[in-house]
Amino acid sequence: MAQDEKKKVQLRSASWFGTNDKNGFMYRSWMKNQGIPDHHFQGKPVIGICNTWSELTPCNAHFRQIAERVKNGIREAGGIPVEFPVFSNGESNLRPTAMLTRNLAAMDTEEAIRGNPIDGVVLLVGCDKTTPALLMGAASCDLPTIVVTGGPMLNGKHHGKDVGSGTLVWQAHEEYKAGRISLEQFMDMEASMSRSAGTCNTMGTASTMACMAESLGASLPHNAAIPAVDSRRYVLAHLSGMRIVEMVHEDLKLSKILTKDAFINAIRTNAAIGGSTNAVIHLKAIAGRIGVDLSLDDWSHGKGIPTLVNLQPSGKYLMEEFYYSGGLPAVLRRLGENGMLNTEALTVNGKTIWDNVKDAACYNDDVIRTIDNPLVASGGICILRGNLAPRGAVLKPSAASPHLLKHRGKAVVFENFDMYKTRINDPELDIDENSIMVLKNCGPKGYPGMAEVGNMGLPPKVLKKGIKDMVRISDARMSGTAFGTVVLHVTPEAMELGPLAAVQEGDYIQLDAHNGVLHLEVSDEELAARLEKLKATQVIMRTGGYLEMYRERVLQADEGCDFDFLVGCRGAAVPAHSH
Kindly tell me the number of DSSP H helices and DSSP E strands found in the chain.
21, 14
Q: Using alpha carbons, list the distances in angstroms from residue 439 to 179, 382, 475.
A: 25, 20, 7
> What's the pLDDT at 57?
96
Angstrom distance (rounded) from CA 417 to CA 271 = 30
> What CATH code is assigned to 13-35+44-154+196-356?
3.40.50.2300
Q: What is the pLDDT of residues 94-133, one digit of tens each?
A: 999 999 999 999 999 999 999 999 999 999 999 999 999 9
The answer to whether the CB of 89 falls within 8 A of the CB of 102 is: yes
> What's the pLDDT at 178?
87
Q: If you average pLDDT over residues 529-558, what whole number do you get?
A: 93
> What's the pLDDT at 7?
53
Q: If you average pLDDT over residues 262-276, what whole number do you get?
A: 97
Q: What is the pLDDT of residues 409-429, one digit of tens each?
A: 999 999 999 999 999 999 999
Q: What is the dihedral of CA 69, 71, 77, 82, to 10 degrees?
A: 160
- Percent of the chain beyond pLDDT 70? 99
Q: If you average pLDDT over residues 182-202, what whole number do you get?
A: 89
Q: What is the pLDDT of residues 49-77, one digit of tens each?
A: 999 999 999 999 999 999 999 999 999 99
Q: Using alpha carbons, list the distances in angstroms from residue 529 to 351, 412, 415, 501.
A: 57, 21, 18, 12
Would you place residue 482 in the very low, low, confident or very high pLDDT band (cuts 50, 70, 90)?
confident
Q: What is the pLDDT of residues 256-268, one digit of tens each?
A: 999 999 999 999 9
The answer to whether the CB of 124 falls within 8 A of the CB of 70 is: yes
The answer to whether the CB of 164 falls within 8 A of the CB of 194 is: no
SS3 265: helix
Angstrom distance (rounded) from CA 234 to CA 68 = 9
The answer to whether the CB of 50 falls within 8 A of the CB of 84 is: yes
CA 94 distance to own-chain centroid: 16
Closest CA to 431 of 456, 446, 409, 415: 409
The answer to whether the CB of 487 falls within 8 A of the CB of 518 is: yes
Angstrom distance (rounded) from CA 248 to CA 460 = 58
- Mark out the alpha helices in 216-318 (DSSP H runs): 231-250, 254-257, 260-273, 278-290
Residue 78 buriedness (CB in 10 A; 0-12 / 13-18 / 19+): middle
Residue 476 predicted with pLDDT over 80: yes
> What's the pLDDT at 487?
98
Angstrom distance (rounded) from CA 371 to CA 455 = 30
SS3 109: helix
The beta-strand segments (E) located in 71-119 are 80-85
Residue 3 predicted with pLDDT over 80: no
SS3 508: strand
Q: If you average pLDDT over residues 249-255, what whole number do you get?
A: 98
For the chain, residues classed under CATH 3.40.50.2300 are 13-35+44-154+196-356
Would you place residue 470 in the very low, low, confident or very high pLDDT band (cuts 50, 70, 90)?
very high
Q: If you average pLDDT over residues 546-550, what whole number do you get?
A: 96
Rounded to the nearest integer, the mean pLDDT of the chain is 95
Least confident of 234-243, 344-353, 475-484, 564-573: 475-484
Closest CA to 300 of 515, 531, 26, 39: 515
> What's the pLDDT at 2?
47
For the chain, residues classed under CATH 3.50.30.80 are 384-542+549-553
Angstrom distance (rounded) from CA 292 to CA 179 = 50
Is the model's pTM score more than 0.85? yes
Q: If you average pLDDT over residues 185-208, what whole number do you get?
A: 91
Helix (H) or strand (E) holding 17, with range, is: helix 14-17
The CATH fold of domain 384-542+549-553: Glucose Oxidase; domain 1 (3.50.30)
The residue type found at 82 is V
Q: Are strands 120-125 and 46-51 parallel, antiparallel or unpaired?
A: parallel
Least confident of 127-136, 172-181, 458-467, 546-555: 172-181
> What's the pLDDT at 33?
96
- Percent of the chain beyond pLDDT 90? 88
Angstrom distance (rounded) from CA 379 to CA 1 = 43
